[in-house]
Structure 1
Amino acid sequence: MMNSTYVSYFILSAYFDTGVFKYLIFMIVMLLYLLIVGSNLLLIVVICMNRSLHEPMYLFLCSLFVNELFGSTGLFPFLLVQILSDIHTVSAPLCFLQIFCVYSYVCGEFLNLAIMSYDRYLAICCPLQYNTRMTFKKVAMLIAVTWLFPCFAILVLLSLSAPLQLCGDIIDKVYCGNYSIVKLACSDTRVNNIYGLIYTVISIIVPLILIFFSYVRIFRVCFSGCKQTRQKAVSTCTPHLASLLNFSFGSCFQILQSRFDISNVPNMLGIVLSLYFLTCQPLFTPVLYGLKISKIRITCKRLLCGKNLTGGPDSDSLSRGSGEQDAGPAAAGTGGRCDSKAAAGQELEVAATRRRQEQEPKFTAAPRHQLDTESAGMPSEYGEPESAGPPTVPLHLLGPVSG
C-alpha cells in the first residue's frame, strides 16, 4: 500500500500476454466494432430518411441505436489500443471519461428499454388513446430524459469519486470501473457507496419494475383477446424482450463482478463476461430489430438497392403493403412472392364483391308472348325492359330484300 492523494494513471491488471495471437484478437475486435458501427448507422439512416418511420416506436428505436454507438465507442477504441500495447496503463482523466461513457450507456439503455415497453403498453392496451397520449412533444421529452438523466447522474458519481485519496493504482479489469477506483480509496467512502446503491436502484431496478408491470398488462390483454391479436402483440414485443434479457444478463454479471470476489472464475471467462454487455448488446440490438420488424427490414432492402427512401409514393405504398404489422415475422416476401395476408385480403375482397353482386336486383327475361305485347305498345307487368340496344323491327315487315 502506498500513501497518495492523487494518482496520475491506473494499471489494468486483467490483461495477460497473448504473444502473436494479439494481432488475431485485434482483428476480431476491430471487425466486431466495424459491424456494430455499420449496422447501427444503417438503421439510424433508414429511420431518419423514411418519413413513414417517423413514429414514436421508431424514434425510440433510433435513440436506442445511437446509445449503442455511444457505448461501444466508449470502449472499443480504448480496447484496441490496449490489445496492441505491452504496458496496460491508462491516465486518470481518460479513465474517468471511460467511466462516464460506459455508465451513461448502461443507464440510458435501461431507460430506453423502459420507455419502449411503455410505448408498447399504450399501443396494445390503449390503442384508441395512443395518438393523444403519445404526442410528438411527449416523445421528445422522453428521449431527452433518457439522455440528460444518465449524464447528470454519472457526473455526480464522478464528482464523488475523483477527489478520493487513493492508496493504490491497480484495477483488476480490462477497462475502468467506478467501484474499482472506490475500492482503492484510503479515505471514507460511505457517501460513495450510498450514492452508488441509489444510482443502481434508480437506473436499473426502477426501469426493470416499470418494464415488468408494462408486460404484465400487455400479456393480460393478449391472452384475453383473439389469436390474431396475441400473435401480433407477441411478434411486436419479442425483439424488445430478447434485448432486455440479453442486456440484463450482462449487467447482472458486471454488478456481481464489481461487488463480490470472483477470483475462482477463470481469468479468460471473467474478461469475456465483463465485456459481454458492452460488445454483444450493441451488435445484437440492430440485428434483432432489423430482421424482426418488417418495415425496417423492407426499407433496409430498398436502401441497399438504391431506391427512394424519402417517403414518396413508393415508400407510402411500401408502408401500406407491410400491413401495419410492425414486427410480424415474414411481413413481406422477397422476389415474386406476394404476402400471404395480402392474398387473403384480396380473396376476402373478391368474395365481398360477389356477395354484393348477388344481392343486387336482377331483371329476368320476360316470356316471348309478353315481349310481343310490349312491341305492340301494350302494358307489361314486368315494367320497362332492360335496354339492350336499338329497337328491332320484325323481318316480315321489311318486305322482300332486293338483290
Structure 2
Amino acid sequence: MLNFNVTLIFMAYGAPGPLNYGVFFVTLVTYLATMFANMILMLVIYCDTSLHKPMYIFLFNLAVNGLIGSSAVLPNIMSNLIDNMKNISYNNCLLQVFFINFYAGCAYGILTVMAYDRYVSICKPLQYHNIMTPAKVGLLIGVVYIFPMWFLAVQLHFTSSLPLCRYTINKLFCDNLAVVSLACFKSALVDLYGLVGVVIFIVCPLSLVIMSYVRILFVSLKASANAKKKALKTCAPHLITFINFSSASLFSVIYNRFSNYLPKELNVFMSIHFILIPPLLHPLIYGMRTESISKSLKKILQKKVFAFEFHLKSEDNMKKSAFSCLN
C-alpha cells in the first residue's frame, strides 16, 4: 500500500462547541436506540419459532446489517465531535469506506430479496414453499453478503493503489469518493468501477423492486377486497422501509456532490442521515406495522412478567413458611 503511514484530517467538524455537543447527544441517543431496537427485533425473531420463515429471516439480516452500518461510523463520529484531534489513519479510513459501502450494498440486496419474497407470496401463493425453500433462502442471503464483499474488496484495492497529494477530508467520515478525490490524479479505471458498482448495487435492485411491485399490483387489482387488504398489509412495511432507505441514499448522493456548497448545519445532517436514520427506522417500522412481530414481542414480554411475578410469589411464600416454622 502506497499510503501505509498516512494520517488524514477531517475538516467538517470544527472546534468542540454547542453545535458539536448537540450533534453528539443526538447521535449518541440515536445510536443507543438503534442498537436496542435492532437487537430486540433480532431476539424476537430468534426466540419465536413461528417467525422462522423467509421474510423474517431476511428481516433478521436487515437488522444485523443496520448494526454493522451504525457501528462502523457513529462511534468514530461521536469521538471526533468532542475531541480536539479530528484525524484517522489511512488504513482505518479505508476500512470505514468498506463497511459503509458494505452496509449500503447489503441493505439494498436484502430489501430486494424481501421484495422477491413478497412477489412469490402474493403472485404464486400455492408454489411459495416450493420456491422459497431453506436452501434458496440460504443462497439468496449468501449472495447478498458475499458478492458485495468481493466487489468492494476489489474497489478498495483500486482506491488504495492511488498515491495521495492531499490529506484533508471535508466530511464527517470517510467514503470512497472523498478518498479518491485526495489522489494526485484521476483514475478512469476507479471511476468506471465505481459507476459499475452504482449500477449493480442501486440501479439493478431498484429496478427489480419496481418490477416486483408492478406484478404485485396487477395481481392485487384482480383479487377480492379482502385479498387486496391483506396484500397491502403484507407489503406496507417493506415499501416504507425501501422508500426510506432510497431517500437516505439520495440524500447521501446529493451530499457527496454538493457538500462544499452547503451550510455547515445542513452539511452535518445530510452527511450522517444515511447512517443515522434508516438503521433505527427499519426495526421500528416492522415492529409497529407487522402484526406477527408485535404479537411475538407481547408474548415474550408477558412470559417475562409472569415469570418475574411467579418468582416474587415464590420468594414471598418461602418467607411466610420460614416465619411459620419459627413461630
Deviation at 1:49, TM superposition (A): 1.2
Cα distance per residue 1:284-324 (max 9 Å; x no partner)? 0000001111110111122223359xxxxxxxxxxxxxxxx
SS at match of 1:251: helix
Match of 1:58 among 53, 56, 59: 56
Question: C-alpha separation between the residues in 2 aligned to 1:180 and 1:294?
Answer: 42
Choose 24-33 or 162-171, whichever is displaced more: 24-33
Distance 1:5 1:75, change over 3 A: closer
Distance 1:170 1:302, change over 3 A: same
Larger RCO (CA under 8 A, 6+ residues apart):
2
Deviation at 1:185, TM superposition (A): 1.0
Distance 1:254 1:24, change over 3 A: closer
Residue ranges of structure 2 left out of the alignment (5+ in a row):
306-327
Question: C-alpha separation between the residues in 2 aligned to 1:257 and 1:194?
Answer: 21
Question: C-alpha separation between the residues in 1 aligned to 2:4 and 2:78?
Answer: 27
Question: C-alpha separation between the residues in 2 aligned to 1:23 and 1:265?
Answer: 21
Deviation at 1:255, TM superposition (A): 2.0
Instruction: Within 5 Å, give how 1:29-108 maps onto structure 2.
Output: 29-108=27-106
Cα distance per residue 1:57-81 (max 9 Å; x no partner)? 1111101111011111101111111
Match of 2:131 among 130, 133, 150: 133
Question: C-alpha separation between the residues in 1 aligned to 2:269 and 2:142?
Answer: 32
Query: What is the letter of the counterpart of residue 268 of structure 1?
Result: E
Partner of 2:235: 237
Q: TM-score, normalised by structure 1?
A: 0.73
Residue ranges of structure 1 left out of the alignment (5+ in a row):
309-403
SS at match of 2:126: helix
Q: Is the 1:26–1:84 contact (alpha carbons within 8 Å) kept by the matching residues of 2?
A: yes
Report the RMSD for the aligned CA atoms in angstroms. 1.6
Decide which structure has greater helix share.
2
Partner of 2:117: 119
Instruction: Within 5 Å, give how 1:296-311 maps onto structure 2.
Output: 296-307=293-304
Query: What is the letter of the counterpart of residue 294 of structure 1?
Result: E
SS at match of 2:262: coil
Match of 2:266 among 258, 264, 269: 269
Partner of 1:388: none
How high is the sequence identity, in percent, across the aligned residues? 35
Instruction: Within 5 Å, give how 1:4-403 maps onto structure 2.
Output: 8-20=6-18, 22-258=20-256, 260-307=257-304
Deviation at 1:254, TM superposition (A): 1.5
Deviation at 1:172, TM superposition (A): 1.1
Deviation at 1:211, TM superposition (A): 0.3
Deviation at 1:27, TM superposition (A): 2.8
Choose 239-248 or 12-21, whichever is displaced more: 12-21
Distance 1:142 1:223, change over 3 A: same
Deviation at 1:85, TM superposition (A): 0.7
Question: C-alpha separation between the residues in 1 aligned to 2:26 and 2:251?
Answer: 23
Q: Is the 1:111–1:146 contact (alpha carbons within 8 Å) kept by the matching residues of 2?
A: yes
Deviation at 1:262, TM superposition (A): 4.5
Q: Is the 2:251–2:274 contact (alpha carbons within 8 Å) kept by the matching residues of 1?
A: no
Q: Is the 1:70–1:101 contact (alpha carbons within 8 Å) kept by the matching residues of 2?
A: yes
Cα distance per residue 1:225-248 (max 9 Å; x no partner)? 111111111111111111111111
Question: C-alpha separation between the residues in 2 aligned to 1:201 and 1:275?
Answer: 23
**Number of residue equivalences:** 304
Q: Is the 2:27–2:276 contact (alpha carbons within 8 Å) kept by the matching residues of 1?
A: no
Q: Is the 1:250–1:274 contact (alpha carbons within 8 Å) kept by the matching residues of 2?
A: no
Q: Is the 1:7–1:169 contact (alpha carbons within 8 Å) kept by the matching residues of 2?
A: no
